[in-house]
A and B are shown apart, each in its own frame.
Chain A
Amino acid sequence: MAQSGNNGTPLLDELEKGPWPSFVTQIKEQAAKNAMCKDLLALLERSYREKVGHWKHGGIVGVLGYGGGVIGRYNDLPEEYPHIAHFHTMRVNMPSGWFYTSASLRTICDIWERHGSGLTNMHGSTGDIILLGTTTDQLEPAFRELTEAGFDLGGSGSAVRTPSCCVGPARCEWACYDTLHLTNDLTHTFQDELHRPAFPYKFKFKCSGCPNDCVAAIARADMSIIGTWRDDIKIDQAEVRAAAQAGLDIHRDVCARCPTQCMEWDGNTLAIDDANCVKCMHCINAMPKALAPGDDRGATILLGSKAPIVQGAQLSAVLVPFVKLEPPYRELKDLVQRIWDFWCENGKNRERVGELVQRVGLGNFLEAIGVEPLPEMLAYPRDNPYVFYEEYLEAEGDEGAAEPAAQ
């Protein structure tokens, strides 16, 4: 039996039972050799007993020259749990696609053994390696060792947050652009914006290689970059027949599920009306050996998704229907800069870019960032007649006509 907390942990012990890996076992394993984890276990048991958390708001702690990357954390019972009176989190920027070697993971473990609790999250919600729990005096030494090993901190606060991406072309035949390269490139390009919060609020990038959107870019990123293609779906008719013979009901489960009904199956040949295909991925998901995205690949750029705080949750909305994404990504970065300029100038405190677009209107926002309005940006055109017409004509010599109203 692993070491228990100060007063035993009967409630948490219940969470060591069952087939799913237990976080309690993980804390106990570290508690056997780290006083912070022992206190953490005891405090968590108390939270389970009292049904309330015991952590206070973060304070301002960090490493020299950065405004983020460390989340200050203090408990509200420091006399009783002194080893976790300070229990700060370090966010470490993961490599694109969460690829590691055993050696790199051991390096991080060794650093965290010397300078922290030994507890981690692999990974946090935004994608960083989360090093969970250390004291203020250990931040700078840990940071120094991390950078010596080639790692840097991730983002926090009103800054660019650590960009993340799907596995992309490293292991997926559906990747329509190089998600790993772009994510790594954006992260390095925007190091200053990531480490030194200067925005109205947070700004997240997420890069998914295809419309399956494995990193939930459309729900979780201010800028969602989702791979897609413009030409025809590639078909291997022999493999389509093989899928049918293997038991897939192609008419019912593929054609009838197509959102635009652009496919037909006559029992021998699959026909696709590609002009009406909306690149949803269903047929390709259903028959990975038979179908594949076309060759003219790129991405759709969408803007503005966020969780509820402050004004309500949003999904990202189409900003650029299709763009080729090749290094050095000049067009994309120019667009980002124009968005940030307008947001920094006009955004209210803690207003995400999606909320700003809602407040000023997409039409005005597009004008401000110099992007032409397109029907692809809408699910449907407006259905209310309260139109802000911005111009009207005057007859010649129309004395006393008012100046055109400001918008």
Chain B
Amino acid sequence: MTTAAQRKTDIGPPSYEQFLPPVIKQNYGRWKYHEILRPGVMVHVARSGDKLYTVRAASSRLMGIERIRRFADLADKYCGGYLRFTSRHNVEFLLTDQSKIEPLIADLARLGHPVGGMGNAISAIVHTQGWVHCHSAATDASGVVKAVMDDLHEYFVERKLPAKLRVALACCLNMCGAVHCSDIAILGVHRRPPRVQGGLKRICEIPNVIASCPTAAIRPATVNGEPTVEIDEANCMFCANCFSVCPALPLADPLNDGISIWVGGKVSNARSEPTFSKLAIPFIPNNPPRWPEVVTSIRRIVEVWAKGARPFERMGEFIERIGWPRFFQEAGIEFRKEHIDDYRYAGLSYKRSAQLRH
């Protein structure tokens, strides 16, 4: 009884208030403006005149406790023990003493964490678990991200892009990374229909499996007198929803898994409305450890945009202006049947006017 009484549940997260530095507590909700002072460093000025300096550094997202302890040490050394993380896996140190910015950046550099990702730059890639820890991954996540960011590093530590660049990676269509509204989305895809494993009915509920398929491509069947399912392969679009509800329908396949690249999405309401990313490259085979074809393709897309976009134009706004045919041409992407939508509402994406560039 005593132990049961001591056991705490449903306490929820600790209040954020105890983690706010004094300068934030004193100026909470009373900030006046901010300025980016140099890549990865900004100052927020309060109505009181107080200043808060933020230094943003990249992390590897997958981190050991030793590295988190080093971040804690840096927070103690430079900012009274206060720090935060961003929605894109960056770590931010919150300083009030401007003279400590340079030494902090030097310490971060020694630890291997570039400072940047602010303003007209690429920020860190939001991503998922991949082969490190996921059952449904069609590619690795951390490895692809590492290779792409090694290559795009210059755009993280400098501010030389026309606008911000938001890249995200999800290792399957479940999209734990919800990449579908990114300037560039890297999406792991399967290309081989599920292979029905023997003994399916012992681990899966067949009606549930049939209902899980958005295209009704799963039908009841009997094999060797045992109830199971069969796949209408022509109607499978590899969403893996059936695998989510039934482990006996694996899709993962080394020869057929890989990566698709999507472009032009955004979530911000600035200028144009939020929009989905659209398919740029239907398939690139997995090529670990550094996925060179993915890295090269993404750099080319970034450079086409960086060269042609007007100030403030996000990837999708740039492509809208020049038109998709020219984007494919400039990015050196072969246009294929896969680019044409054939799911619900597909017709909405057909060009229904004679407004074309010739």
Q: Are B131 and A47 closer than 8 Å at their CB atoms?
A: yes
Q: A51-B286, A121-B63, A151-B13 are in contact. Are A98 and B84 (CB under 8 A)?
A: yes
Q: Are B146 and A170 closer than 8 Å at their CB atoms?
A: no
Q: Are A214 and B84 closer than 8 Å at their CB atoms?
A: no
CB-CB under 8 A from A212, the residues of chain B are: 268-270
A333 CB-CB contact with B under 8 Å: no
A279 CB-CB contact with B under 8 Å: yes
Q: Count A-side interface residues using an 8 Å CB cutoff.
A: 127
Which of B62, B269, B343 is the one whose CB lies under 8 Å from A213? B269
B7 CB-CB contact with A under 8 Å: yes
Shortest Cβ distance from residue B252 to the other chain A in the assembled complex, whole angstroms: 5
Q: Are B73 and A102 closer than 8 Å at their CB atoms?
A: yes
CA distance A289 to B84 in the complex (A): 25
A23 CB-CB contact with B under 8 Å: yes
B267 CB-CB contact with A under 8 Å: yes
Q: A57-B135, A211-B268 are in contact. Are A310 and B31 (CB under 8 A)?
A: no
Q: A55-B133, A102-B72 are in contact. Are A219 and B274 (CB under 8 A)?
A: yes
Q: Are A100 and B253 closer than 8 Å at their CB atoms?
A: no
A4 CB-CB contact with B under 8 Å: no
Which of A23, A253, A349 is the one whose CB lies under 8 Å from B62? A23
CB-CB under 8 A from A313, the residues of chain B are: 175, 180, 276
CB-CB under 8 A from B31, the residues of chain A are: 169, 171-173
CB-CB under 8 A from A56, the residues of chain B are: 135, 247
The B231-271 residues at the A interface (CB cut-off 8 A) are: 239, 241, 244-245, 247, 252-254, 257, 265, 267-271
Q: Are B14 and A104 closer than 8 Å at their CB atoms?
A: yes
CB-CB under 8 A from B245, the residues of chain A are: 350
Q: Are A147 and B8 closer than 8 Å at their CB atoms?
A: yes
Q: Are B212 and A310 closer than 8 Å at their CB atoms?
A: yes
CB-CB under 8 A from B129, the residues of chain A are: 121
In the complex, the chain B residue whose C-beta lies closest to that of A249 is: B311
CA distance A261 to B60 in the complex (A): 42
Selecting from A7-15, A319-327, A360-368, A394-402, the interface stretch reads: A7-15
CA distance A22 to B146 in the complex (A): 7
CA distance A97 to B19 in the complex (A): 10
The B1-33 residues at the A interface (CB cut-off 8 A) are: 7-16, 18-20, 24, 28-29, 31-33
Please, what's the 1-or-0 string for A74-104, where 1 marks a CB less than 8 Å from any CB in chain B?
0000000000000101000111111111111
Q: Are B12 and A93 closer than 8 Å at their CB atoms?
A: yes
CB-CB under 8 A from A64, the residues of chain B are: 7
Q: Are A184 and B13 closer than 8 Å at their CB atoms?
A: yes
A265 CB-CB contact with B under 8 Å: no
Q: Are A125 and B178 closer than 8 Å at their CB atoms?
A: yes
Q: Are A120 and B65 closer than 8 Å at their CB atoms?
A: yes
CA distance A319 to B178 in the complex (A): 22
Q: A87-B133, A309-B175 are in contact. Are A50 and B212 (CB under 8 A)?
A: no
22 CB-based A-B contacts, threshold 8 Å: A15-B143, A23-B60, A26-B63, A29-B64, A98-B87, A100-B84, A101-B19, A102-B73, A103-B72, A113-B65, A119-B65, A120-B68, A125-B177, A125-B178, A126-B176, A151-B13, A152-B10, A219-B180, A281-B268, A292-B33, A309-B175, A315-B274
B residues apposed to A, CB below 8 Å: 7-16, 18-20, 24, 28-29, 31-35, 44, 52, 54, 58-69, 71-73, 75-76, 81-87, 89, 91, 94, 112-114, 126, 128-137, 140, 142-143, 145-147, 149-150, 153, 170, 173-178, 180-181, 208, 211-212, 214, 239, 241, 244-245, 247, 252-254, 257, 265, 267-276, 286, 288-290, 311-312, 343-344
User: What 4 pairs across the A-B complex have the smallest Cβ distances?
Assistant: A18-B150, A307-B175, A102-B72, A211-B269
